[in-house]
Amino acid sequence: MKHGRGMGESGSGTSHIEAQAMLDAFASVGAVSFDVTRTTRTGDKDGFRRGVSLADLARMLPAMLDVAAGTQRNVIVRPHGPAVVFIQLDDIKALNLARLAPAVFLTLETSPGNFQAWVALAGIEDKDFARRLRKGTGADPTASGATRVAGSLNFKDKYAPDFPRVTLRQANLARLTTAAELERLGLVAEPEASPPHSPPARSQPGPGRRKWPSYARCLDGAPLNSEETGPDTSRADFVWCMTALTWGWSTEETAARLMEESTKAHANGPGYAELTTRNAALAVERRRQQQQPRRHRIG
């Protein structure tokens, strides 16, 4: 089943049809409930409901979308299902869609030229495999696993006043894939060395350890952000800086490298990277002092 409506097409009937088609696609691969979030144009959370059943969401969604369109609210859902893993591949470019098509069950166009593909695998979550799949497909490594509802408008300030409509571009009902198939299709990056999520105790790098920590693994180990839409990138940046400094990189080198690794640092500029690195350096120094043996005076 394929859909190809234009991003600017309006009308509640179209919105409702596309939204139901998206729910049908998720249901076909095992989704049984959804976390539902409403956000404002600036990304602030305006409402949240956890674990809404598929049937209840299908019943509620038409009215929810109509209200959201009038109040400029985004409707975002996160799918859940027993023994099925959903992996969101976000910010995919059109050129990459063809090689992903055999394995995905759902493709959305969330704004003009920006696509999102979803794969579903039977089994339990493997964060390392999901990370390598995102890397291998060129997807956003910080994808949250939650998506805007097809048929809804994408309310962001940068799009005003012509907010694009989230469009369902392709649905392959009941399309489950496997890790082996994804690797066979060449979509999975090779495993990396596994540095720890938190900085090691020693303050100097060991012989030959002149490498950078894995930023992706720091993201994997980070807690959810306050909106529960993805990893807390500020925390990931801080832990990554602590690890780099502990491994012997200077504050200047670490701040410069953070600008390359972190999308948040790139967006906020050198001031953010330098402040994060300085705070991490203070934390490393405090840890070093705490680990020094205390000297006892003999009276």
Could you tell me if residue 204 is inside a domain?
Answer: no
Residues 172, 39, single domain; the answer is yes
Residues 108, 256, single domain; the answer is no
Residues 226, 279, single domain; the answer is yes
Could you tell me if residue 209 is inside a domain?
Answer: no
Summary mean pLDDT of the chain? 86
230: left (phi over 0), alpha (psi -120 to 50) or beta: left
Residues 154, 230, single domain; the answer is no
| Torsion angle of the four alpha carbons 7, 13, 17, 20, in this order, in degrees rounded to the nearest 10 | 110
Residues 134, 75, single domain; the answer is yes
What is the tens place of the pLDDT at every residue in 118-127?
A: 999 998 888 8
Could you tell me if residue 75 is inside a domain?
Answer: yes
* CATH, residue 272: 1.10.1240
pLDDT at residue 289 greater than cutoff 90:
no
Give the containing element (helix H, strand E) for 45. Answer: strand 45-53
What is the tens place of the pLDDT at every residue in 24-51?
A: 999 999 999 999 999 999 888 889 999 9
Question: Using an 8 Å Cβ cutoff, are 87 and 133 in contact?
Answer: yes
Place of tokens 């350096």: 281
Q: How far is CA 63 from CA 18, 123, 228, 257, in A?
A: 14, 34, 24, 47
Rounded Cα gap, residues 251 and 265, in angstroms: 15
| DSSP-derived secondary structure letter, 190 | P
Could you tell me if residue 207 is inside a domain?
Answer: no
Residues 154, 229, single domain; the answer is no
Number of domains in the chain: 2
* CATH, residue 121: 3.30.70.1790
By three-state DSSP, how is residue 278 classified?
Answer: helix
**pLDDT score of 11:** 56
pLDDT at residue 101 greater than cutoff 70:
yes
Residues 144, 220, single domain; the answer is no
Task: Give the residue numbers spanning the domain of 254.
Answer: 215-291
**pLDDT score of 43:** 86
Q: Which two tokens stand for residue 190?
A: 């090779």
**pLDDT score of 258:** 94
